[in-house]
Structure 1
Amino acid sequence: MKKKIFLSLAIAATAAIPCHAQTDSTQEATLQLKEVTISTTRIPEVKSNAAATVTIIDQKQIAEMSKVAPDMSHLLGLLTPGMALSSNTTSSRSQSLRGRSALILIDGIPQSTPLRSTDRDIRTIDVSAIDHIEIVKGSTALYGNGAIGGLINIITKKNAAHRAIGGQTTLSGSTYNFFRQGKGQGYRINQQLYGAAGNLDYLVNGTFGRTGSSVDGDGQFISPRYGLGDTYTTNALVKLGYAFSPKNRIELMYNFYRSLQDTRLVPSGGKYLKQPAIGIVGDRDPLAVDEGTRYNHNAYLKFTSHDLFAHTDFETAVYGSSLYTIFDFRKANPAQPRWEETSGQSAVKDRKFGFRTQFSTRLIFSDNAFTHLVYGYDYLFDKTAQPLVDGRYWMPWLTSNSHAPFLQTKTTLWQWFNIKLGGRYDFINVSVPDYDVLRNKLSAPQVHVKGGSLRYNNLSFNIGLSYNRYPVFQPFVAFSQGFSIFDLGRTLRAAKADVLEKISTEPVKTDNYEIGAYSNINNWLQINGSFFYTYSKLGSDLKIENGFWVVNRTPQKVYGIELSADAQILSNLKAGANLSWFEGKLKSASGDWDTYMSSISIPAAKLAMYVNYAPVKNTYLNLQYIHTGKRDRFAPNAAGAYNEGEGKVNRINLLNLTAGVRLKAWDLSLSVSNLLNYTYYTPSSMLMARNAEYAHADGRNITLTASFRY
């Protein structure tokens, strides 16, 4: 009894890991919480030894959350401490990681496009194709360009069965608020096949789905601008593996993703702080095309060899990707002209090819002293442009070649003291062709920019210490550096100078400091807490100028805390919560840190709590509570309006519920997002302070899901 009382107090006083998946039959038989091994740090290790704050979203959590919110931006916003909630749109611009951009990877393949950001790199794969997600917080030198806020590595599914064929079929249907007014019906179909034949194993996973028109808590259609409503999504994943021997294996992966909006609604109204932008039935402009990601192809061919030579493993991978994303249609606006005073629709096209080669060597000096070395070389070719759908170019094709040798070491002394030390040297050459800046006004002077090469050479270090002798208190301290060519195309497309060398294109470099601790109390309570501080001489925040977002190069610092706990109270009862809070400041010309960073980068504090309960055998009941705080850091301007990115963000309280039953091979569930049908504005719409984007979030949404495994 005392144990339960102590645990309840601990959960109330601490913050915890986000909503976890249902308790299954294996969990019901034990009170223990398992340690999780991660690979994104390039040295496979238990996360408490990583000398960093790491969040793991496992396959059970993903399967559970996909019943409530089958969208990557929703899933990460709900389950990741240090990341803002989804904007409920296709854009993830306001979903930074600890106030800075994160490098998004799919099986190690970069999805981020630093030559011209899409703000869509989170939504490049469907949740049905994902096995688990590893999130390493803080700037890191492990993967080079882009990881100034951390890494989000999405690991795709793989075959784990030892039979010739197996599979799973999943069907789901969703509706807003019990079919109210017949609005918002959607569906998803997923088919998975996997198996092995001799040394060959395979997995094929396909998903097709369509969302209904988005409806708020009042039953009103939400504005379709950048909307997730009325989108159809297709995802296909294929994995083939062949084991030449117990030590040597080759693997091929291909993933295709498409998500486009096809809606009968058009945006209407919207007045900041007064009324929401809504959707009404109407005809879109005949020049407009469906917005969204037309395609995202990712593939790799990987070879691994264990004990290639003495105490050394080897891995090499060749990969490629191709992306085409289209943004929303903009009607010509004489008050704020763009694209030579014409209507238009911009897009981003990106092509990547790269390879990674690394060796992993274990040096054993004694039972109390051994070192793990990971060393190798990364290469990446990246080509990106921002054309308009009509063929004009807002940003020309930019081409970069990146080379980077790296070394990461982890030395363990006395079995419990770990010293991590690593470095990476990035050589990046960006080729910029001669180009004409696409003017906003026809009367503006034509700017012709003479192209050339931009060369970036950067050495990044990381060092971390962790002490793991006592499970109840495992402290760590870390320093890491990050490096990013932050959205280079955004700068080049608005160039005022006629020579490339006169344009400010310096990279963002960050220094990240973190101190924290993990605690494991008898394998039934896990607690994690950390404090972090990040500084950059050149900023990566965005600010608005003449109606366009530009990079704010002012020095920045970001600092904050993350607290979490996770507890297996009974064999059929699990609970926890997490809390994240951080703040960002800009350094003024006077040398004082007296200006707040905009809410685009710095979200309000977030608290998430969950309870997973299995009332009887083969049933599950999961309740998740999300609270975001208030952030009101800015005053209206001289005209009495808020600058874009500086709007007032009010508190939000949400409840999500999932209940289900397993009957042999069947899993039947009912999920309800926004259980109380709460009508609220999304944090993104509040902070943006734009009339057209001031929109409500989704109201109550009910999803019925049936899965059959065979």
Structure 2
Amino acid sequence: MKKIILSVATLATITTFAQKTDSLQVKDVDEVVLTASRKRENIKEIPSSVTIVGEKQVQAQLTVNSDITSILQYTVPSLATSSGQTSNTGQTLRGRQVLVLIDGIPQSTPLRNGARDLRSIDPSVIERIEVIKGASSIYGNGADGGIINYITRKSKSDKKISGISQVGITGQPYGGTLGVRASQFLSGKITNKFDYAASFAYERTGYMKDADGVNLSPTYSPAKMDNYNGMLKLGYDITDNQRIEVSYIGYASKSDLDLGLKTGKYGITPTIGEGRGLNLETTPQGTPRNHNVKISYDNKNIFWNTSLNLNLYLQDFRTVYGYSDTFLNGGQSNVISKKKGARVNFDTQLWNSQNSQGEVIYGVDILNDQTVQKLEDGRYWTPDMDMTNIAPFMLVKVDLFKKLTLKGGLRYENMNVKVGDFNTLSTLKTDGTFTKSIFVTGGELKYNAFVGNIGVRYNIENYINVFGSFSQAYSINELGRILRTSTSDTINNLETKPIIVNNYELGATGQIAKWLNYEVTSYVSTSKLGATFIQSPDRALTIQRAPEIVYGVEGFLHFTPVKWINFGGSYSWMEGITSVKDDGDYSTKINNSRISAPKVLAYVQVKPTQNLSVGLDMLHAFGQDRFDPNTKTGLYAYGEGEVPEYTVFNFKSSYDINKSWRLSLGIENVFNKLYQPAIAWWAARDSDFTNSLGMRGTFMIEYKF
């Protein structure tokens, strides 16, 4: 299938998180962003919607909870709330799926979204997190709602060796909940040309319990889990203009939690962990491997006013889920994904005068993604899927009068997916019988299209900067899910067309009198074919392909009346509608598995002395009542359950003993509130109705040298 699609560049404001404090702040300095255009750019020149979570903000949130999905829910306004589990199902960005990267290496598995891409790295190794909000094709397949790029630490010291050592304990006011974590980061320069950065982190979590001291459900549980993260970066400056860097980042997690599952009743009694688990030989659930290898080469002047950035990368990912009896003879499923890729990026300066400059960025992306979902006993749940994507691109950027930025680009997506022959799995139906397995003949699926981007940002004065944009994403999302529920004997009879998202955005940002920063953004995204989980008449989950519109607003205020205190907050709201009959009647709402409830984040940070910092974060999730239950059964369909509102407070503090030693104390759910995560309600299933984590404290000691 071939389409020509015109578009416009992603555009919005930049939210940064302060480096001098542990709280939200938009900095009036030359902050640099890497992800928006795949090069280092000043914030004031970028017509893109970007949230930057800085290193100190990551470390402060790490003191409260090391789960990266929790850190993100407290720092990214338009990201849905965390489930508190190893799965990030439902944690969408602006109502759509997000592409997760580590240093530009794709972690997501859009061919079969296993929902474990957010939890693919330990926060201790993160220097900053850059979030591109809104549809983007900058990094290829899967960025319907935007991009989350974990940028890892690098060497910043001229010493031969410097580092940060951290040890900590976590615990709840109940027995058996004690956990430990430790991390070590080392960096330095061996010679004037050779530098390195290395780290290792380990965490052992304890049992996790709700506010009443009851064990949380063992399904997708992060309790009794060993988490490992290692990193090694070696850099060599060949000349003043040339540099080569080799890096490895590895992550692994596995659980030895042995709790039985006591299924509750939706809306009444939570599902909990009780007794001992099944006496079966099972594989520990978790992500046993996530290997990332990258080689990058930079040349600042390879030819006429042109720089080159070349990246070669490999990723080897495997994640394992818990035992389920919904398959004939039972089993555990896994998702395995192996990626190989190359990115060639040229940047040519067309002109550079005192009041204006112009440049063109161009190159090609090559990606091979091999993904499959199987059971641990070898049975296929999806076929082998082998995607090759070759995408040349070009982006033109013009800056005028140091106030006006214009950006526009074009990218040609050319995807070819080879699908193997397979037998569908026999799965359990609501009447207690199993579906019939059928043989499906594979083949090749080809997709290609032009996508483009254009946008403008006008920095009128410090107190008012306006922006507007139109941007696109092109992705093959949940192809494996569509194939595995096939009722046809050939893939050519299935609806496997790609998702093409058009994102429109308007907003304003600014700084007033150096004590108030603000941002307000509105957006609309449309797609002729979406991909949403819905419930079939026999209560099985299927993928709905239908036209969609998602729209929303978000914004924040940040106050710094005096140096020793700052406070503020953010608000996000969205809605999504679809035309299930493709007749232009958008009267059906996209369900709550994608459209999250409005969310308010608020914080206050106080520094009563130079060495002491104390803060309080609040997350308020509003209620969500968008659907009615079935009139005959009184049951909600999957994704349509009514979600009640809840409010949670987290406490965080740190004390600098001297330049080398720091003590930190964080308390999650400081008032020990008993509540359920949003997914427990909107999923509307007994087994998913679980409580959230009760009060838990983290104490850490840090040494810098």
Aligned counterparts of 1:247 and 1:568: Cα–Cα separation in 2: 41
Q: Deviations over 1:328-379 (max 9, x none)?
A: 2112xxxxxx43x211110011111011010111121643332121111000
CA 1:601–1:690: 2 relative to 1, 3 Å: same
Number of matched pairs: 682
In structure 2, the partner of 1:583 is 575
Unaligned 5+ segments in structure 2 are: 1-12
- 1:452 has 2:448 as partner: no
Identity of aligned residues (%): 34
1:524 maps to 515
State TM-score, norm by structure 1: 0.93
Partner of 1:12: none
Q: Is the 8 A contact 1:167 1:193 kept in 2?
A: yes
Aligned-pair distance for 1:494?
1.2
2:684 pairs with one of 671, 678, 689: 689
2:208 counterpart residue number: 214
**Displacement of 1:281:** 2.5
Q: TM-score, normalised by structure 2?
A: 0.94
Cα 1:32–1:439 change in 2 (3 A) is closer
2:15·2:50 contact (CA, 8 Å) conserved in 1? no
Distance 1:265 1:450 in 2: 41
Counterpart residue identity of residue 203, structure 2: G
SS in 2 for 1:221: coil
Cα distance in 1 for partners of 2:627, 2:704 equals 53
**Helix, strand or coil at the partner of 2:158:** coil
* Secondary structure at the counterpart of residue 297 of structure 1: strand
Is residue 173–residue 186 contact of structure 1 (8 Å, CA) maintained in 2? yes
* Structure 2 SS opposite 1:145: coil
SS across alignment from 1:692: helix
Tell me if the contact between 2:36 and 2:50 (Cα under 8 Å) persists in the aligned partners: no
Shift of 1:429: 0.4
Matches within 5 A, 1:233-244: 233-244=227-238
Structure 2 Cα separation of the partners of residues 468 and 574 of structure 1? 25
Q: Counterpart in 1 of 2:7? A: none
Give the corresponding residue for 2:485: 494
- 1:309 is matched with 303
Name the CA distance, whole Å, in 1 between partners of 2:548 and 2:26: 45
Contact residue 104 and residue 121 of structure 1 kept, 8 A: yes
Which deviates more from structure 2 when the two are superposed, residues 645-654 or residues 540-549? 540-549
Question: Is residue 2:412 matched to residue 1:412?
Answer: no
1:407 maps to a residue whose letter is M
Residues 300 and 320 of structure 1 are in contact (CA less than 8 Å); yes or no, is this contact kept in structure 2?
yes
Give me the whole-angstrom Cα distance separating, in 2, the residues matched to 1:203 and 1:376: 29
Distance verdict in 2 for CA 1:189–1:365, change over 3 Å:
closer
Q: How does 1:73-88 map to 2 (within 5 A)?
A: 73-88=69-84
How far, CA to CA, are the matches of 2:345 and 2:599 in structure 1?
38
Counterparts in 2 of 1:561-572, with a 5 A limit? 561-572=553-564
SS at match of 1:161: coil
In the alignment, the residues of structure 2 paired with residue 435 and residue 448 of structure 1 have an alpha-carbon distance, to the nearest angstrom, of 6
Instruction: Tell whether the 8 Å contact from 1:21 to 1:63 is kept in structure 2 after alignment.
Output: no
Aligned ranges for residues 535-684 of structure 1 at < 5 Å? 535-545=526-536, 546-589=538-581, 591-637=584-630, 638-664=632-658, 665-684=660-679
Q: Contact 2:78–2:93 at 8 Å: present in 1 too?
A: yes
Mapped contact 1:19–1:608 kept (Cα < 8 A):
no
In 2, the alpha carbon distance for the partners of 1:130 and 1:506 equals 36
Write the mapping of 1:396-475 to structure 2, written as runs, cut at 5 A. Answer: 396-440=383-427, 445-475=436-466
Change (3 A) 1:281 1:490: same
Q: Which amino acid aligns with 1:352?
A: K
Q: Distance in 2 between matches of 1:628 and 1:259?
A: 29
Distance (whole Å) between structure 2 residues aligned to residue 447 and residue 364 of structure 1: 62
Contact map agreement 2:17 2:52 (CA 8 A) in 1: no
Structure 1: state its 5+ residue gaps.
Answer: 1-14, 332-337
Report the equivalent of 1:349. Answer: 336
Equivalences for 1:190-269 in 2 at 5 Å?
A: 190-198=183-191, 199-269=193-263
Structure 1 CA distance, aligned partners of 2:406 and 2:104? 25
1:377 aligns with 2:370: no
Aligned-partner Cα distance in 2 for 1:35–1:568:
19
Q: How many Å separate the matches in 1 of 2:308 and 2:300? A: 6
**Cα distance in 1 for residues equivalent to 2:675 and 2:427:** 35
Tell me, in whole angstroms, the C-alpha distance in 1 between the residues paired with 2:276 and 2:601: 39
Shift of 1:228: 1.5
What amino acid is the match of 1:145? Answer: N
CA shift digits 1:310-336 (9 cap, x unpaired): 3211110110000110112112xxxxx
Q: Which moved more, 1:518-527 or 1:649-658?
A: 518-527
In 2, the alpha carbon distance for the partners of 1:496 and 1:466 equals 49
Q: Distance in 2 between matches of 1:414 and 1:670?
A: 48
Query: In the aligned structure 2, how far is the partner of 1:124 from the partner of 1:492?
Result: 26
Confirm or deny: 8 A CA contact 2:16 2:52 kept in the other structure.
no
Correspondent of 2:21 among 20, 23, 36: 23
Distance 2:159 2:684 in 1: 56
Tell me if structure 2 keeps the 8 A contact 1:144–1:424. no
Counterparts of residues 82-97 of structure 1 (less than 5 Å): 82-97=78-93
Cα pair distance change 1:365/1:81, threshold 3 Å? same
